[in-house]
Structure formats: structure tokens, C-alpha cells
Chains A and B, each alone.
Chain A
Amino acid sequence: MALVAEPGRIAMMLIGAVLMYLGIKKQYEPTLLVPMGLGTILVNIPGSGVLATGGQPGPFQILFDAGIETELFPLLLFIGIGAMIDFGPLLSNPFLLLFGAAAQFGIFFVIIVASLLGFDINDAASAGIIAAADGPTSIFVANSLGSKYMGAIMVAAYSYMALVPIIQPIAVKAVTTKRERRIRMTYNPRAVSKTAKILFPVIICIIAGLIAPDSLPLVGFLMFGNLLRECGVLESLSLTAQNELVNLISILLGLCVSVKMEYHDFLQVDTLIIMALGLLGFVMDSVGGVLFAKFLNLFRKEKINPMIGAAGISAFPMSSRVIQKLATEEDPQNFILMQAAGANVAGQIASVVAGGLVLGLLL
């Protein structure tokens, strides 16, 4: 009866079912969408014990307080992500780092649009950070800024990341010509020493810490994971971080995120606007990256395929694969995957720096 009296609960259960469908049937970020989908159903059952039981916090609430309120879960996830990243393509062609910076444009574009729509600056910034295309950074920033749209931000961040193969081709094709998409690039990677690979994460921590100290939790955990990978003597820890740690945190994160998916918080016009702004941010990231590459081409003899710019978002390795697919569609012999992967890895660094800078400017 309580369900019929509150149709919002039924609507949220349907949303939960859709999330699970996307995860299971379409295989869009299943590690997060499946637990998040079931969690959404569980928290919207009237009097649900997962939120509170006998006047005490329930298991989801306890997990949320311990893992998200404290920001530990997104940070721990970063150790695993760092252990998965190979900075080799980037170090062998460091010029690609600039595309990581350019493709964060969507974040700042959305912050301005959200401000124009009347959102409080902290909520505007939290909406903007969806465009970092980086789930843990979105959660970290939105939570640090105390945004009331956490549920929408998390759903948007993860579902749009899964939709990169659909969103990016539309955005890239809108701002490039066929001729530009056919531009071939020669790949002459410079060999990178093991010492350079080990020192790189340590130096990044120091630089990011000196310029944007608020980014250090994000950058530090990411680079710690990478150091585990590259140091060569902690292989079992690196593998644990890449597999067990990431899987465990993904399960817990996906479940406890649903605390913010209760119908009275989620089914609001504002929430839908936040999700639309996130989508706009993803599009503008790609547009910003492509336009930056086109701008550089004005001064270069050897032209860059401007699609490389769009790969500067954090969604790794999906974005670089999408860009390679677009290149192959126009010219089956055009291979720009390595350049796109370099820009994509740069996007991972740039997104955490962006999160830290936004926090530094607002806190």
C-alpha cells in the first residue's frame, strides 16, 4: 500500500531496473550499474532496513558514512586505477599532455551554464565535474563541496562514461570535416627508461601538490597506484590493486551510492537538469579538445588529426578506442590509436588536477 501511496518509489525502482538492464544486457559499466541498480530498488522499498533499522543506521548508510562521506572509497579506487595506467605512451610523446588539459573544457563550460541557470556555485561546480569523465573524481569533488545532487552526479558520471562510444562520435563529427578525420599521423615513440617511469609518478605528486595542494588526495592515490605498477618489486600489490581492490571498492561504492537515490531526493527537476548538464559537459569536453588541436594545426607543418584532442578526456581506454574507430571509418589504413591513448592517459592526470583546482578555488 505504501508503494501505491508514493508512486515516486515505483518510478525509482524502475530506474534501478533500467540501470541493471544497462549493466547486464548492454554491459555499460556493469561493475557499478548492477549494484547501483539493485541498491536503488532496495533503498526505495518503504521502511527499508538498508537505510535505517531499529532507530540505528542501516548497512548502506553505514557504508556511505564510512566510504563516501569520508571520501575513502573514491580514493582507494584511484590506487587501482593508477596501477592500471601505463604512462609509457605519454612519456614517449609528452606533447600529448596538452590535450588532456584542453579536453577539460566541458567542466568549466558547465559551471558557467549551471550558474546562469541559478544553481549555487558549489552545485554548479559539482555538476561541472561530471565532465571530468572520471567517476571517483566526481564523487570526491561533489562530496567535498557538499552538493545535494550527489546521486544524480554519480549516476550521470558513470552512465555517460559508459555512453562515450555514442556521445563522442556525434560531438567529434559535428566539429570536424571528413578531410580532417582522415589526417594520418606518424608515430615515432621515444624509448622510455624504467627510471623515468618510476620517477614520473613521484614528481607529478610534488608538482601537483605545490601548485594545487587540494588535488593531492586524488593525485597522490592515483600516482601511488602507478608507483606500485612501475617500481618492479611490488607486482603482487599492483595486481591486487588492479583486481581485488578495484572490484571490492566497486561493489561497496555501487551499493552505498544508492543512499542518494531515494525518490524524494532524486525525482526533482533540478536533478534532471544536473544530468542534462553533465551530458553537455561530455560533449563540450570533446569539442574543446578538437578545437584545441585545430588551433595547434594553424601553427604546425605536420598536422595533428584533431580527433586526438577529443581523446583527452579521462574515460580510458574507451575514448582512445572510439577515436581510432572514427579514424578507421574514414580511412581503414589510418592508425592513430597510440596518439589517442597518450592523450587519453593525459586526460586522467588532467581530470584529477581539474578536480583539485576546482576544490582549491572554492574551499
Chain B
Amino acid sequence: MPFDLANLEIAVQILGLGWGGIFIVMFIIYLVSLALGRIFPPSEDE
């Protein structure tokens, strides 16, 4: 299979945007989880 530089460029872009994107999504979910814990604390019977 011939190596195609354009494919490699896209692959590096996917690394940056894809892996970075996952960190952003997971960080937002992290903040949401903290907020849920604060806004909806467990009641006494929980």
C-alpha cells in the first residue's frame, strides 16, 4: 500500500481533535457530576 502524506495529516488532526475532544467532553461531564452532587445531595434515607 502506498504511503499517503495527506492521510497522515488527517490522522494527526484526528489525534489532536479527537483525543483532545474526549478530554473536553469528559472534563465537562466531570464538572456536571460535581454540580449534580452539590445540587442534589443524598437525602438522609439514601
Contact = CB atoms under 8 A, between A and B. Distances in A.
A347 to B, nearest CB: 10
B15 A111 contact: yes
A119 B40 contact: no
A193 B46 CA distance: 7
A361 B17 contact: yes
B18 A95 contact: no
Given A119-B1, A191-B46, A98 B23 contact: yes
B18 A196 contact: no
Given A98-B26, A101-B26, A200 B33 contact: yes
**Most B-side CB within 10 Å, residue of A94, A118, A212, A362:** A94
Given A124-B7, A207-B29, A349-B29, A199 B22 contact: no
A211 B26 contact: no
B26 to A, nearest CB: 4
Nearest to B12: A112
Contacts of B30: 94-95, 97-98
Main secondary structure of the interface of A (DSSP, over half): helix
A346 B28 CA distance: 13
Contact of B25 (A102, A196, A211): A211
A120 interface: yes
Interface residues of A, number: 51
Given A115-B7, A116-B3, A211 B18 contact: no
Nearest to A346: B26
B11 A91 contact: no
Contact of B46 (A111, A112, A194, A350): A194
A280 interface: no
Given A111-B11, A208-B25, A357-B21, A94 B33 contact: yes
Interface string B24-45: 1111111011101100111100
A357 B40 CA distance: 30
Contacts of A200: 32-33, 36
A350 B26 contact: yes
Contacts of B33: 90-91, 94, 97, 196, 200
B26 A124 contact: no
Interface of B: 1-4, 7-8, 10-15, 17-19, 21-30, 32-34, 36-37, 40-43, 46
Interface of A: 90-91, 94-95, 97-98, 100-102, 104-105, 107-109, 111-112, 114-121, 124-125, 190-196, 199-200, 203-204, 207-208, 211-212, 270, 346, 349-350, 353-354, 357-358, 361-362
Closest 6 CB pairs of A and B: A118-B1, A94-B33, A115-B11, A196-B36, A193-B42, A108-B15
